[in-house]
Structure formats: C-alpha cells, structure tokens
Amino acid sequence: MTIREIIVQRRSTETHISRNVTLDGVTVRLDTYTNRADSSWYLDVFDANDSPLVQGIALVAGLDLLFPYKYLDIPQGILFVNDHLGTVDDPTLSTFIDQEASLYYQEAGS
C-alpha cells in the first residue's frame, strides 16, 4: 500500500501553500489555504494547465476528500486527513503545524 503525505503547512505563519504533484500518474496542482473567518483549511485542485478542477474542499478528518469528484480527470486514489490524536474533526489554523493531523494520499488499488 503506497501512502504519501502531502504538506499542508510548513511554518506557523503560512496560510497558503501551492505545490505540483503527480498522484496515480495524474499531475495536479494542490493549493491548501486557510479561511481565517472560520479558522479552517481548504483545498483547490488544478490540472496540469492550471485550470481549476475542484475548489473549496474543506479539509476534514474521516472522509475521502476526492470521492465526489471521481468523474473528473483527477487522481483516483483516496485523499484524506489523518487525525493523529483522535480528536480533530475540522483542522484549525495550527493543526498541521502542531502535527495533530496530516493530509495523505493513498494510491488507487493500494
């Protein structure tokens, strides 16, 4: 089973990270960012040409975040937030930097 961690936040001052990744042979740009009004994290997915595929996915624990979008040309594996403490439902601004949770991708068929 191949599971890959995807960095959401490197420093406590970061509120937006953009990175290009290849997952299950599909190259996408993943943007993770905060909404300070509700202290939450969100994800946008763009194709290799920087065209938006999905925007505004709330990063929450316990769900396959890409499941509703499998009909699109997106990676077909499972993208999920793993709650390391068993107490995080909706990651807040400090959740990822405090290592209370991480974002992972599990390849399809793994």
Q: What is the pLDDT of residues 21-40, one digit of tens each?
A: 999 999 999 999 998 888 88
The answer, yes or no, to whether residue 12 has pLDDT greater than 90, is no
Phi-psi category of residue 12: left, alpha or beta, with phi > 0 → left and psi -120 to 50 → alpha:
alpha
Longest CA–CA span in the chain (Å) reads: 38
The answer, yes or no, to whether residue 86 has pLDDT greater than 80, is no
pTM of the model: 0.88
Q: What is the pLDDT of residues 45-70, one digit of tens each?
A: 999 999 999 999 999 988 899 999 99
**CA–CA–CA angle 17, 22, 25 (5° rounding):** 160
pLDDT of residue 84: 80
Q: Which amino acid is at 41?
A: W
Separation CA 46–CA 52 (nearest Å): 4
State the total domains in the chain.
Answer: 1
Q: List the domain range (segments joined by +) for residue 64.
A: 3-106
- Three-state DSSP state, 69: helix
